[in-house]
Amino acid sequence: MTRIAAKPIPSPRRAVECLELVLPAPPSANNLFYNRKEGGRGKTQAYRDWIIESGWRLQQQNPGMIDGSYEIEIIVGKTNVRDIANSEKALSDLLVRHGVVIDDSLAERIVMTRSGEDHGVRIILKAWDLCDDPAASDEGHDF
């Protein structure tokens, strides 16, 4: 059984304003953890395998890092037929683990869509200060 370190992998990534990654689709959020017989929760084998494979694919793309608040757009390929919202947590945790974002709590906006393309998951990250101010575009709406 391979142990996976819980701490982020330190990486001297260069700060960038935008980046794009293509990764395999993660297991559904419903299949990331299992209940241990001795109590507590553990990562499923499918989740551990995905972490390793996706980590290698991420490293091959050599992304920079978003240093601060950000917007993330997750575009799920057409071959992934499950609830697309169940992909976000595993992807965000992977980005933190590999130093692409500092902390997933810094996400100011999360957008998820399904694509007609035949890919796993495409991720587009933008530094929040480059994004349009959502308050400015909400004129006329009673939120």
Calpha distance 102→37 (Å, rounded):
34
Which range (2-6, 73-77, 130-134) has the least confidence?
2-6
- For 97-134, write each residue's pLDDT tens digit: 999 999 999 999 999 999 887 779 999 999 998 766 54
The residues pairing with 118 across neighbouring beta strands, listed in sequence order, are none
pLDDT at 137 over 80: no
Could you give phi then psi for residue 4, rounded to 5 degrees? -110, 125
Helix-then-strand count for the chain, H and E: 2, 6
pLDDT at position 139 is 47
Mean pLDDT of the chain: 85
Calpha distance 62→72 (Å, rounded):
18
Q: Which of 128, 120, 70, 117 is nearest to 95 (CA)?
A: 70
pLDDT at 6 over 70: no
CA atoms lying within 13 Å on the CB side of residue 112: 13
Calpha distance 25→125 (Å, rounded):
17
Q: Which of 47-56, 72-81, 132-141 has the highest mean pLDDT?
A: 47-56
Q: What is the pTM of this model?
A: 0.82
On whether the CB atoms of residues 128 and 69 are closer than 8 A, the answer is yes
